[in-house]
Amino acid sequence: MNRLLVVAGAMVGAPVRYLTDRAVQKRHDTVFPWGTFTVNVVGCLILSLLSGAVAAGTASSHVPLLLGTGLCGALTTYSTFSYETLRLGEDGARFFAAADVGASVVAGLGAACVGVSFAQALWA
């Protein structure tokens, strides 16, 4: 059952990641990887909300498998983030590479803090 929950979550997360990346990147005429940035920050927010729900005891043990491991695991992508950042640096866009790293860390942690705070307010 656990494996099926992870697979089901990933079946949603992977296409959402791809479609979101394409839609966001299409709207921005820049080398900055806005699509990957967006899915990673949204994933941080979802995972922190989920963590808050689990900590408060309002989520069953199956929810983290479905949404955390499955959905967020397929939605977010450290490998693409790394590849795109390295590619930016190799292509001479070092400012965008550094901005990608800095913005991703700050926005990801910010989203996680917002999610945990919201979860605590909602379920505490």
**pLDDT tens series, the chain, 124 aa:** 899 999 999 999 999 999 999 999 999 989 999 999 999 999 999 999 999 999 999 989 899 999 999 999 999 999 999 999 999 999 999 999 999 999 999 999 999 999 999 999 999 7
Distance from C-alpha of 104 to C-alpha of 23, rounded to nearest angstrom: 19
Mapped onto helix, strand or coil, the DSSP state of residue 93 is coil
What residues make up the domain containing 53? 2-123
List, as residue ranges, the binding site for Na(+). 73, 76
Closest to 16 (Cα-Cα) out of 65, 63, 69, 72? 72
Number of domains in the chain: 1
Distance from C-alpha of 13 to C-alpha of 74, rounded to nearest angstrom: 5
What 8-state DSSP symbol labels residue 91?
Answer: T
List, as residue ranges, the binding site. 73, 76
Looking at residue 1, its pLDDT comes to 87
Closest to 121 (Cα-Cα) out of 56, 46, 54? 56
- Which pTM does this prediction carry? 0.94
